[in-house]
Amino acid sequence: MMNCKYKLNLTIAEIEIVNDIRLKSKVLKERQKAGAIYFRATNKDLETTSKNVGITKNAIVIHIKKFLEKGIDYITENNYKGNTSELDKYENVILTDFKKTPPNTIGEAIKRIEKLTGLKRSWTAVKRWLKKRAFLTKKQRAFQKEQTKKNKKNS
């Protein structure tokens, strides 16, 4: 049986804040951290806490240790940076060129990006990269306008 040497001495107000995060957060990791801290603060053993929160006992001990070091802000702390595209290095060059003369299609965008940067990317990768930057090709803008007109007529 694993034992947790870290003791949580939280006030009632702190327990309520942690419980509020546990119940209302939309981020799974935050709910898990808050759950681990809440159940341990309300004197539940590691086994019960692990079952209630759905994480391992070791993860619970880690969350408690970090909570004691960093405080309540640890629960909502998010260190995930995500993947970055090599195209990000050339973002200004690409978008400046595309704003001067927008590509008609994603295929055209692929060719122009390769010409500008020397990087060859798939159709999906280029579409996703442009979408993150709220950039639409001429065809996409035309389709969007057409849909807007249809919606206005139907209203």
Query: What would the pLDDT profile of 2-32 be if each residue is shown by its tens digit?
Result: 566 777 888 999 999 999 999 999 889 999 9
Structure tokens at 3: 């034992």
- For residue 138, pLDDT beyond 80: no
Beta strand ranges found along the chain (DSSP E) = none
- For residue 1, pLDDT beyond 50: no
Q: Decide if 19 contacts 53 (C-beta within 8 A).
A: no
Half-sphere exposure of 19 (CA within 13 A, CB side): 11
The whole-angstrom separation of Cα 8 and Cα 53 is 17
Confidence of residue 155 (pLDDT cuts 50, 70, 90): low
Dihedral over Cα of 82, 86, 92, 95: its sign: negative
Enter the DSSP assignment of 26: S
- For residue 85, pLDDT beyond 90: no
The whole-angstrom separation of Cα 102 and Cα 38 is 53
- For residue 55, pLDDT beyond 80: yes
Beta strand ranges found along 17-142 (DSSP E) = none
For residues 98-127, give the mean pLDDT.
Answer: 92
Percent of the chain with pLDDT over 70: 96
Q: Where are the alpha helices (DSSP H) in 25-56?
A: 28-41, 46-53
